[in-house]
Structure 1
Amino acid sequence: MAQIFFAPPNIELSGYERRYFGHTRSRTLYLIRNGRLTPEYAATEETTLGIARRCIETLIKYQAISDLVGLQLQTTAAHGQLYYASTRDRFTLSPKSEFDRSHMQQLFAAGYEEGRLGQWRKQPPLTPVQAAERRNRG
């Protein structure tokens, strides 16, 4: 399962193109992630459901980052470049419910606007563990 995918991970687009067309093409992949990819610190409700909800939210976020890393590796192997936009920390609107359509549309619009303005990013964000490891290395 993946939140984000481009092509099956075992497909070798460059090899296919060399065999059938005699050369490889460069690729540019643009992705808009409808949500944040940075940590969002908040108090967790001290109930089983509250803890489970927070765990799932965190899992989904870091699965998306992992998917971005895999997609970046895949596009690089295929002589491509990945550019993505996601919701920045300055987007502070909160959903009214778990599946608030208006909120989802506002998130998409914020990401779309960043892309339209050329605010594409190339490197997936570091997870807190990766950021701490980088700081410790000096």
Structure 2
Amino acid sequence: MSLFYNEKESEYNPATISIAIIILVIVIIGGLMAIIPKYRVWSKELAGKATLREAQWDRQVQIEEAQANLESEKLNALSEIERAKGMAEAIKIENGQLTETYIKYLWVRQNQFNDKTTIYIPTEANLPILEAIRMGQ
């Protein structure tokens, strides 16, 4: 004889089936009540670990950016030093070897390539005469 099935009457016993369903529901609810808090703790722990990883990653990115900026500034400083050395050497050459005539020649040569040069010519009353029309236009 089965608890759920009555062989004599060839039918299921509704009272025992109802009790079994109620017990099953109680077990499921009890299991959920035990599992849900643990799941919440587990999910919050995972979220915390993810936040920690993200913070560590952001920190690492900031460190690498700072190192790249430092390296860039060092290279910029070295290029400025080299430029200053070149300028100092050029000044030494100019002061020691260039004549005033050659410097005037360089100035005239530079102005030949510039169409926007304005030439002021002082007159008797110290009022400049502006070159209104360029030669050859």
| Higher fraction of helix | 2
Where relative contact order (Cα < 8 A, 6+ residues apart) is larger, the structure is: 1
User: What interval of TM-score do these two structures reach, taking the shorter chain for normalisation?
Assistant: under 0.3
Larger Rg: 2
| Higher fraction of strand | 1
TM-score, with length taken from structure 2: 0.24
